[in-house]
Amino acid sequence: MHAFSKEISDCIDACFACQKACMGLAMTHCLEMGGEHTAPQHFRMMIDCAAICATTADFMLHKSQFHREVCRLCAIVCSECAEDCARLGGMEECVTACRACAQACTQAAH
């Protein structure tokens, strides 16, 4: 899309990919495994991460004057979600998507 710089366009895509990984795995893998995967703190983190990624993509699509602040917050949530998923194991897809999104958001926030 010509309306956005390559950096912002890539960050929007990274947010969508992370939302897909976090919401998709929370509602399939995590619910089906149960145990630690539906522990409130972990499950909420997955849903938080999907939600802030959706919002961050939306703010960039708005060409919002607040997109840097939202990107910074998204980078924090994604980094913590990546750590939590790495700790649990079996969620490499989520870890990778969260780390990529945190990095893209950190760049877009500059």
21 near a copy of itself (CB under 8 A): yes
Site size with a copy of itself, rule: CB under 8 A: 45
The CB-of-59 to a copy of itself minimum distance in angstroms stands at 7
23 near a copy of itself (CB under 8 A): yes
Question: Using only C-alpha atoms, what is the Rg of the chain?
Answer: 14
55 near a copy of itself (CB under 8 A): yes
Closer residue to a copy of itself, CB minimum distance, 77 or 100: 77
How far lies 70's CA from each of 18, 30, 76, 98, 109, in Å? 15, 27, 10, 15, 8
How far lies 95's CA from each of 60, 88, 104, in Å? 23, 10, 14
Determine the Cα–Cα distance for residues 65 and 19; give it in Å rounded to an integer. Answer: 22
List interacting residues with a copy of itself (CB under 8 A). 1, 3-4, 12, 16, 19-21, 23-25, 27-29, 31-32, 34, 38, 40-41, 43-45, 47-48, 50-52, 54-55, 57-59, 61-66, 69-70, 73, 76-77, 93
